Amino acid sequence: MAGKNFMNLVADGKPTSKVLAVQDNLVLTGPLPGAKIFADVRFAGGAKGVVWQVDEAGYAILPLTKEPIKTGEQVVEHSEELRLGVGHSILGRVVNPLGKPLDGGGFVEATAHVPYFRSAPTFGQRDELNQQLETGVTLVDTLLPVVKGQRIAIMGDSKSGKTGFLSQTAIHQAKQGKVVVYVLVAKRRQEMNRLIARFTAAGAMKNIVLVVTTSSDPLSLGVLAPYAGCAIGEYFWHAEQDTVVIYDDFTAHAKLYREMSLMLGNNSGREAYPGDMFHVQSALLERAGKFKQTGASQTVLVTGLTPGNDLTGYQSTSLISMTDGQIVFDTTILQTGQQPAVNNSLSVSRIGGRVQNSTQQQLSRSIIKELADYRSAKEYTRFNDQFSELAETEIALGEHITEALNQKANEWFSLGEQQVLLDVIINHKTPKDLDIDKLKEVIKQNHKTLAGADEKTLAKVTNLILKQGIK
């Protein structure tokens, strides 16, 4: 079948050439007259590839399938741009960057073919970002709110809790009916299996698409993976659905791109990364936002590795500069038992505050102030075993806030629940008598009332709890 299709393309007069050399994950061919960068090509032996670089000597092609390619073999252009077959049936599936199933569930029925490499929406097509995206994590939603259509970096060292937070967010969004595309770049198969198990156990897999490449996959698939995830997200986004795309992670993607660029002989810069490294990843992140015409949004959460909690590395600083804020996870904080282990001093959501109402903004400011007072009071007690009643109150209040923000990976709170939880703690007259675990139980008992409730209802519930106490 592959041979027949190939001959049909040649017979149709599509541009053809011959393979000049095969170098690991790279194929060099003669010129393909008229073929452009990102063109979809086929080899006589059945292999598929994409044109990645064009110069006077010929074309550099990334092979995308495992069929062997030989020197002298003929190559032909299949289409002007590489496209991915997608459809609503891809929801709940695990696929590779070519859309091939990895979950044993049979082929994904494609009702449309979308480009991997698409320009970001223009300024005129975009609308103001003015709606909060709930992660279900109290610390993030209160102090570092994520906005629908935002691009935010999730930074941290290995094993600092980044993936736990991302999967927590993915589940919360999927349960709200949003489409979540989770991209794993050059990860171990065990990591993929753990995510699938967690999404399935939470009943959220039906609205999630996993795009996976493992460390044993060809370099080209790892480079292509974020583009595939973005293209799938855009399919639903253009169909007027809110989507969340998660890239885990851009550090691995940058290393694969650097390796490919070195093979291509491109000039290298800092830490041997090519000069277009920033452009490649920032252009991908630009494919997020909110459409003015439909109101649908595509939000991007992208992770970056910070070895030794160092944010000054080339990739870390680049990623921070191309996003609208960063949430920094710290292994030192994780060792204290705090989850999520977010470093509030280094984290910022540059546009998050604008989507909070006045009550939420005031609550956020109060929490930040009380935590600062708590740290000061704790520092004071290190040098003096006798301290005032005010210091005792500040310590008790700070401990309660810290306990409230300490959240397990299988625990979620709506924005209304978070507001009542923290409001009760801040306004409780005797912080030392407050039981946070019981308070959380009471709030969960009022889940249906608080989820999506207006300010009047939230204030009423808060006052009722303060009046009646925790029973």
Segment 254-293, tens digit of pLDDT: 999 999 999 988 888 888 999 999 999 999 999 999 999 9
As given in the structure block, the two tokens for residue 128 are: 């103001």
pLDDT (0 to 100) of residue 418? 95
pLDDT (0 to 100) of residue 385? 63
Chosen domain end from 302, 335, 353: 353
Name the one residue in this structure whose structure tokens are 């550099």: 60
User: Do 28 and 114 lie in a common domain?
Assistant: no
User: Do 400 and 447 lie in a common domain?
Assistant: yes
Average pLDDT of 79-83?
A: 95
User: Do 13 and 88 lie in a common domain?
Assistant: no
Chosen domain end from 353, 376, 405: 353
pLDDT (0 to 100) of residue 265? 87
Mind listing the pLDDT tens digit for each residue in 216-264? Answer: 888 999 999 999 999 999 999 999 999 999 999 899 999 999 999 999 8
- Of 293, 296, 313, 295, nearest to 304 (Cα)? 313
Burial of 333 (0-12, 13-18, 19+ CB in 10 A): buried
- CATH number of the domain that 168 lies in? 3.40.50.300
pLDDT (0 to 100) of residue 389? 72
As given in the structure block, the two tokens for residue 52 are: 């990645």
User: Do 39 and 18 lie in a common domain?
Assistant: yes
Q: Give DSSP secondary structure letters for 59-75.
A: EEEEE-S-S---TT-EE
- CATH number of the domain that 437 lies in? 1.20.150.20
Which H/E stretch holds residue 304?
Answer: strand 297-305
CA distance 96 to 214: 9
pLDDT surpasses 80 at 431: no
pLDDT surpasses 80 at 32: yes
Mind listing the pLDDT tens digit for each residue in 170-197? Answer: 999 999 999 999 999 999 999 999 999 9
pLDDT (0 to 100) of residue 379? 79
User: Do 348 and 362 lie in a common domain?
Assistant: no
User: Do 20 and 108 lie in a common domain?
Assistant: no
pLDDT surpasses 80 at 24: no
- Tell me the C-alpha to C-alpha distance, in Å, between residue 248 and each of 33, 179, 185, 380, 413: 37, 17, 6, 41, 24
pLDDT (0 to 100) of residue 175? 95
pLDDT surpasses 90 at 427: no
User: Do 334 and 382 lie in a common domain?
Assistant: no
pLDDT band at 316 (very low <50, low <70, confident <90, very high): very high
pLDDT (0 to 100) of residue 304? 96
CA distance 57 to 93: 41
As given in the structure block, the two tokens for residue 327 are: 């949430």
The residues, any chain, with a CB within 8 Å of residue 369's CB and separated by 6 or more, are none
CA distance 341 to 27: 45
Name the one residue in this structure whose structure tokens are 């923290």: 422
CA distance 152 to 265: 32
Q: Give DSSP secondary structure letters for 134-182.
A: P-S-HHHHHHS-EETT-EEEEEE-TTSSHHHHHHHHHHHHHHTT-EEEE
Tally of domains within the chain? 3
User: Do 244 and 143 lie in a common domain?
Assistant: yes
User: Do 73 and 94 lie in a common domain?
Assistant: no
User: Do 373 and 263 lie in a common domain?
Assistant: no
pLDDT band at 133 (very low <50, low <70, confident <90, very high): very high
Query: Peptide bond before 340: cis, by omega within 30 degrees of 0?
Result: yes
Question: Amino acid letter at 429?
Answer: K
Which H/E stretch holds residue 166?
Answer: helix 162-175
pLDDT surpasses 90 at 414: yes
CA distance 192 to 302: 17
User: Do 284 and 326 lie in a common domain?
Assistant: yes
3-state secondary structure of 469: coil
Residue 7, domain extent = 2-81
pLDDT (0 to 100) of residue 386? 59
Average pLDDT of 75-81?
A: 94
Name the one residue in this structure whose structure tokens are 């949004």: 297
For residue 469, the tally of other CB atoms under 10 A from its CB is 12
Mean confidence (pLDDT) of the chain:
92
pLDDT (0 to 100) of residue 311? 92
Chosen domain end from 49, 81, 113: 81
Q: Where are the alpha helices (DSSP H) in 239-313?
A: 250-263, 277-285
Q: Where are the alpha helices (DSSP H) in 347-454?
A: 358-381, 389-405, 415-427, 436-445, 447-450
pLDDT (0 to 100) of residue 3? 67
pLDDT (0 to 100) of residue 387? 63
Average pLDDT of 54-76?
A: 91
pLDDT (0 to 100) of residue 36? 92
pLDDT band at 2 (very low <50, low <70, confident <90, very high): low
User: Do 383 and 308 lie in a common domain?
Assistant: no
